[in-house]
Amino acid sequence: MRNGLYSVEFHTVHGTGCGVVYVIDGKVRGGNTAFAFIGSYSGTGDEIVVKVSTQRHNQDPTFKPLFGVDGVTLTLKGAMTDEIVELQGDAMQLPGVNFRAILTRICD
């Protein structure tokens, strides 16, 4: 995965969301209006594995968590090109709820 800033769109049966992540040298950092995303990635060729946790930073109750709980840890697998990364997996706290994400590279 190329180091840089990515927009991220994510989907579950419970809804959709978006945010940004910055990836650099195996680390993932980002967030949206209510949650920080902190994790790591590894991969070879065009395959990638991502493990990322969410942490609420905005206590406003109008921002609902996508999984119904504030903190989840996602394990995701997928494929990447130079500009787009497509991932899917689930949360350790809610196994069986499919999570999909599309990351689109914005810049270095």
Q: Evaluate whether 88 touches 78 at the Cβ level (below 8 Å).
A: yes
Structure confidence at residue 55 (pLDDT): 96
pTM: 0.93
Profile the chain (108 residues) by mean pLDDT over runs of 10 residues. 95 94 97 97 91 96 90 95 93 93 96
Select the CATH number that applies to the domain covering 4-107 from these four: 2.60.40.1110, 3.10.290.10, 1.10.3720.10, 2.40.128.380: 2.40.128.380
Positive or negative, the CA dihedral 94, 47, 5, 24 is positive
H or E element at residue 98: strand 94-107
* Beta bridge partners of residue 68, listed in sequence order: none
Domain range list for the chain: 4-107
